[in-house]
Amino acid sequence: MYQLLIVDDEASVADSLEMIISAQDMGIEMLHKASSGNEALEILNRYPIDIVITDIRMPEMSGIELSQEIHSRWKHTDVIFLSGYSDFEYAKHAIEIQAADYIVKPFRNERVLNTLRNVIERKEKEWQTSYSYQTALYTLQENMPSLRSNLLNNMLRGKKYAGEAIDKKADALKLPFRDGEDFIMMLVRLESEFQHYEPEDLSLMEFSITNIAEEVFDPYFRLWHSKDMYEYLVFLVRPEPDRIEQTLKKAPTKSYILKLAEKLATEMQNNVKKCLQGSISVLAGPWGQFPADVRKAYDVALSFFRNKIGTEQGLVFSYIDENEVPGRIRNVSSLYESPTFNYLFELGRWDEARSKLDDVFQEWESLGGYSEEHGLEIFWAISSSLAYILHKNGHHLYEVMGMDTEIYGNANSSRNPAKLRAWCINVLELLRQGLERENKDSRSSLVRQVQEYVGRRLAEDVSLQAISDHVNLNPSYLSRIYKIETGEGLSHYLYRLRMEKAAYYLKNTDLKIYEITSKLGYQYTPYFNKVFKQFFGVTPQEYRGDKEG
């Protein structure tokens, strides 16, 4: 989307260009007007202008001078000159120096549109050339470590990727992992000796530890690492069975591979101690299948690390599966996987929230037949998200959910899956209705403010910037919201309103044409006649004649 600035000391010319361009869908997101070079520079300082259409001959600062200033300060802003026939050779020379194109006055609509289209097409080709494949590849290489880390962190937080999608990402980031392959989750905690480091120095220590890990685990394992929110270094460790078999002289079992990983983790720990004078604790395991088990393996590893290593320092452990231990209970992990209910409620993605709710209840059933404790976990999680989003939007619960206290649920719901499910679905629907109603009311109120403001100032030159300042919103945002709510662009609304007012005055008053022109904010009667005819197909005089005839 582009931003366009029209500069001409004759308001009628600028208005004509605005009318011609606004009527077309050319990717012009915002259109600004200025009556002088100095006013144009003020707008250029405030907005990211892509294209300027400027008259060559203007008082104080000519179009050529303005163009020179633009090219010295805004390298990617293109300039189109407006020139009279007498300035034709002058304009051609200016183009040879710096301008993108020129339009001769008096201009034809098609000439204006074709010139603008050509400049936009040229800008798009230049952009594609500037950000070519080689440039993108270089940028990718420069940011590769960060991109790899972010992808793994997303998966640790529960973001799911389909097999084909994750394979494409792995290829792009040169990661040694593919859909369906086995991996070992490994957590590394930096101990007290590292706690006194400043953040920059600590990052260097972490970088050194990951390098030590890759050196130690090579050639038997391939590693991919990130740092989680708890300050652990998290590694996905993919075994190279063929390499291990060459050393072992037989096919390795998973048990043997995990023991080998623990042995190498101990060697890594020793090297960190010798090279960096600090200790680390390491957990190797559990196993998982990429990418489906990344979040689950991570959660299990975190829980095991806290329970088995705790506050003890400098330990190395292998994970031992304790799922069969009587009395142990797991959480409903899908409640906390990304995207969370808080996130989905925030963005109003109600279909996804309902789908996530289905996953939660399916997991509840799989955990051992709808235990009451898991029901309580679901109940409180949904209640917490409900309160979070309403309070964040400045509402009491009853304002959206109603005064009926039963809608807030009660802990007894957790004993009955059907009742709890019905309660959750009802909460989602009431929340959706309440927030969408609030959003609709907010947009409707904004439209009313705009229309009331415009209606009071039709006799003035009402600009998008003036309207935006009145309602305290960014002009681009205001234009989009107005179009979404009304289905009509704000510029077209102003044009239509003036024409409808003009028709009313012509049919119901004895005002002269020039008086109507002034009352509607137009400076020149010939220009008013032109835009009126374009809208109604007849001139104002002919329109008024219909009344008399």
Give, to the nearest 10 degrees, the angle between helix 464-471 and helix 490-508: 110
180 and 296 fall within a common domain: yes
Please give the structure tokens belonging to residue 127: 């952009």
Q: What is the pLDDT of residue 549?
A: 36
Give the whole-angstrom CA distance, residue 247 versus residue 128.
51
226 and 356 fall within a common domain: no
Q: What is the pLDDT of residue 76?
A: 85
pLDDT digits (tens, 9 = 90+) for 24-35: 778 787 889 999
102 and 231 fall within a common domain: no
Q: Flag the least confident range among 102-106, 108-112, 483-487, 537-541.
A: 102-106
Average pLDDT of the chain, as a whole number: 85
Asked if the peptide bond before residue 540 counts as cis, ω within 30 degrees of 0, the response is: no
Segments of 320-423 assigned E as strands: none
Q: What is the pLDDT of residue 548?
A: 41
180 and 123 fall within a common domain: no
**Alpha helices of 157-279 — where are they, by DSSP H?**
163-172, 199-217, 241-248, 254-276
294 and 270 fall within a common domain: yes
CB count within 10 Å of CB 222 equals 18
Q: What is the pLDDT of residue 221?
A: 97
Instruction: Name the region of 346 (left: φ>0; alpha: ψ -120 to 50; beta: rest).
Output: alpha
Phi, psi of 339 (to 5 degrees): -80, 140
Average pLDDT over residues 467-489: 85
158 and 294 fall within a common domain: yes
Strand 78-84 to 51-55 pairing: parallel
Average pLDDT over residues 154-166: 88
15 and 76 fall within a common domain: yes
Of 333, 340, 305, 338, residue with least CA distance to 319 = 305
Predicted model pTM: 0.51
Share of the chain above pLDDT 90, in %: 36
Domains held by the chain: number:
4
**Type of residue numbered 373:** E
Q: What is the pLDDT of residue 184?
A: 97
Residue with tokens 């190797």: 284
Residue with tokens 């603008």: 116
Q: What residues make up the domain containing 358? A: 333-440
Cα 52 to Cα 1, 63, 89, 245, 354: the distances in Å are: 15, 10, 20, 69, 48
Q: Is the pLDDT of residue 100 over 80?
A: no
Residue 338 near residue 299 (C-beta atoms within 8 A): no
Q: What is the pLDDT of residue 369?
A: 72
Report yes or no on 77 lying in a domain.
Answer: yes
Average pLDDT over residues 124-136: 65
Q: Flag the least confident range among 315-324, 341-350, 477-486.
A: 315-324
Q: What is the pLDDT of residue 404?
A: 53
Report yes or no on 450 lying in a domain.
Answer: no
Backbone CA torsion sign across 152, 155, 161, 164: positive
Q: Is the pLDDT of residue 484 over 90?
A: no
Looking at the chain, the number of H-run helices and the number of E-run strands are 23, 10
Cα 489 to Cα 167, 447, 456, 492: the distances in Å are: 43, 12, 19, 5
Q: What is the pLDDT of residue 189?
A: 95
Asked if the peptide bond before residue 106 counts as cis, ω within 30 degrees of 0, the response is: yes
CATH of the domain at 44: 3.40.50.2300
Instruction: Quote the longest CA-to-CA distance of the chain.
Output: 107
Average pLDDT over residues 319-330: 63
Among the candidates 81, 103, 130, a domain finishes at 130
Q: Is the pLDDT of residue 378 over 70?
A: yes
Q: Is the pLDDT of residue 409 over 80?
A: no
Give the whole-angstrom CA distance, residue 32 versus residue 14.
10
CB count within 10 Å of CB 74 equals 17
Cα 156 to Cα 81, 246, 388, 475: the distances in Å are: 55, 33, 23, 39
Long-range contacts of 240-243 (CB under 8 A, 24+ apart): 243/219
241 and 148 fall within a common domain: yes
- In sequence order, the 6+-apart residues with CB closer than 8 A to the CB of 436 are 348
Cβ neighbourhood burial of 40 (10 Å; 0-12, 13-18, 19+):
buried
Give, to the nearest 10 degrees, the angle between helix 417-456 and helix 372-392: 10
Give the whole-angstrom CA distance, residue 509 versus residue 501.
11
Cα 539 to Cα 125, 502, 529: the distances in Å are: 43, 11, 6
Q: Dihedral, CA atoms, 357, 362, 368, 370, nearest 10 degrees? A: 50
Distance spanning both ends of the chain, measured CA to CA:
48
Average pLDDT over residues 411-439: 82
Length of the chain: 549
Residue 526 near residue 12 (C-beta atoms within 8 A): yes
45 and 147 fall within a common domain: no
Give the pLDDT band of residue 545 (cuts 50, 70, 90): confident
CATH of the domain at 532: 1.10.10.60
338 and 294 fall within a common domain: no
529 and 407 fall within a common domain: no
Q: What is the pLDDT of residue 264?
A: 96
Average pLDDT over residues 170-174: 90
**Type of residue numbered 243:** R
Backbone CA torsion sign across 201, 203, 206, 208: negative
CATH of the domain at 193: 3.30.70.270
Q: What is the pLDDT of residue 91?
A: 59
Asked if the peptide bond before residue 286 counts as cis, ω within 30 degrees of 0, the response is: yes
Give the pLDDT band of residue 128 (cuts 50, 70, 90): low
Q: Flag the least confident range among 75-79, 197-201, 392-396, 539-543.
A: 392-396
168 and 310 fall within a common domain: yes
Report yes or no on 227 lying in a domain.
Answer: yes
Of 186, 127, 134, 181, residue with least CA distance to 156 = 186
Residue 338 near residue 356 (C-beta atoms within 8 A): no
Q: What is the pLDDT of residue 87?
A: 62
Q: Flag the least confident range among 146-155, 358-367, 399-408, 477-486.
A: 399-408
Report yes or no on 261 lying in a domain.
Answer: yes
**Type of residue numbered 370:** Y
pLDDT digits (tens, 9 = 90+) for 175-231: 999 999 999 999 999 999 998 899 889 999 999 999 999 999 999 999 999 999 899
**Type of residue numbered 266:** T
